[in-house]
Amino acid sequence: MGRNNEMKLGLYLAWAGYHEGAWRDPSAPANGGVNIDHYAHLAELAEGAAFHFVFLADHQGVIDHPTTIARAARNDGLEPITLLSALSSRTRNIGLVGTATTTYYQPYHLARMFASLDHLSQGRAAWNIVTSAMNSEAHNFGDKELPDHESRYARAKEFVEVVKGLWDTWEDDAFIRDKESGVYADTAKLHVLNHHGNHFSVKGPLNIARPPQGHPVLVQAGASAAGVAFAAEVAEVVFTAEPRLENGKQYYATLKGKARAFGRADDQVLVMPGIVPIVGRTKHEASEKLQRLQSYTHIDVLIGAAELWLGSVTDLRSIDLDSFVPDTLPQTNSIQSRQKLLVDLAVRQKFTWRQLIHLVSDSRGHLLVVGTPEEIANVMVDTFDQHAADGFNVLPATIPGGLKDFIELVVPELRRRGKFRSRYSGQTLRENLGFKRPVNRFTRASGRQ
**Amino acid of residue 241:** A
Determine, following the binding rule CB under 8 A, whether residue 170 of this chain makes contact with its own copies. yes
- Least Å from the CB of residue 409 to its own copies: 25
Q: Tell me how far apart the terminal alpha carbons of the chain are, to the nearest angstrom.
A: 27
Is 49:434 a contact under the CB 8 Å cutoff?
A: no
CB atoms within 10 A of CB 183: 12
Q: Is 229 exposed, middle or buried (0-12, 13-18, 19+ CB in 10 A)?
A: middle
Phi, psi of 271 (to 5 degrees): -95, 120
CA atoms in the 13 A half-sphere facing the CB of 193: 26
Determine, following the binding rule CB under 8 A, whether residue 392 of this chain makes contact with its own copies. no
Q: Name, in order, each residue with C-beta under 8 angstroms of 49's C-beta and a sequence gap of 6 or more.
A: 9, 407, 411
Q: Taking the alpha carbons of 183, 186, 187, 191 in that order, is the dihedral positive or negative?
A: negative
Contact 380, 7 (CB under 8 A): yes
- Pick the closer one to its own copies by CB: 202 or 219: 202
Choice between 132 and 224, CB closer to its own copies: 132
Q: What is the DSSP string of 22-64?
A: GGGSTTS-TTGGG-HHHHHHHHHHHHHTT-SEEEE---SS--S
- Using CB under 8 A, pick the residue from 6, 40, 321, 345 that binds its own copies: 40
Tell me whether residue 248 or residue 304 sits nearer to its own copies (CB atom): 304
153 labeled binding residue: yes
In this chain, which of 81, 377, 407, 414 binds its own copies, going by CB under 8 A? 81
Q: Are 33 and 266 in contact (CB under 8 A)?
A: no
Annotated binding-site residue? 67: no
CB of 84 to its own copies, least distance (A): 8
Burial of residue 345 (CB within 10 Å: 0-12, 13-18, 19+) is: middle
Which of 4, 5, 70, 260 lies at the binding interface for its own copies (CB under 8 A)? Answer: 70
User: Considering Cα of 127, then 131, then 133, then 139, what sign does the dihedral take?
Assistant: positive
CB of 160 to its own copies, least distance (A): 16
Hey, what amino acid is at 221? A
Q: Tell me phi and psi for residue 444, to 5 degrees.
A: -60, -45
Q: Candidates 12, 50, 54, 88: give the one binding its own copies (CB under 8 A).
A: 88
Determine which residue in the list 203, 416, 436, 448 makes contact with its own copies, applying CB under 8 A.
Answer: 203
Q: Is residue 96 within the footprint of its own copies (CB under 8 A)?
A: no
Task: Give the binding range for its own copies (CB under 8 A) out of 172-180, 319-327, 381-389, 398-406.
Answer: 172-180
Q: Which of residues 9-38 bind its own copies (CB under 8 A)?
A: 23-24, 26, 28, 30-31, 33-36
Residue 187 engages its own copies in binding (rule: CB under 8 A): yes
Among residues 355, 2, 35, which one has the least CA distance to residue 16? Answer: 35
For residues 136 and 314, which CB has a smaller minimum distance to its own copies in the complex? 136
**Is residue 69 within the footprint of its own copies (CB under 8 A)?**
yes
Query: Min. distance of Cβ 105 from its own copies in angstroms?
Result: 7
**Separation between Cα atoms, residue 161 and residue 228, nearest integer Å:** 17
Burial of 350 (0-12, 13-18, 19+ CB in 10 A): exposed
Residue from 3, 5, 48, 140 that binds its own copies (CB under 8 A)?
140
Site string for its own copies, 278-317 (x = CB under 8 A): ------------------x-x-------------------
Of 45, 117, 146, 293, the one binding its own copies by CB under 8 A: 117
CB closer to its own copies out of 113 and 270: 113
The residue (of 256 and 430) whose beta carbon lies closer to its own copies is 430
Identified binder of its own copies from the candidate list 59, 149, 364, 366, rule CB under 8 A: 59
For residue 144, the minimal CB distance to its own copies (Å) is 9
Closest CA to 354 of 296, 291, 289, 299: 299
Question: Among 3, 145, 150, 184, which residue interacts with its own copies (rule: CB under 8 A)?
Answer: 184
Per CB under 8 A, the segment of 44-52, 58-66, 249-257, 306-314 that binds its own copies is 58-66
Distance CA 399, CA 404 (A): 8
Report the nearest approach of its own copies to the CB of residue 348 (Å).
32
Residue stretches of the annotated binding site:
58, 99, 149, 153, 224
Residue stretches of the annotated binding site for FMN:
58, 99, 149, 153, 224
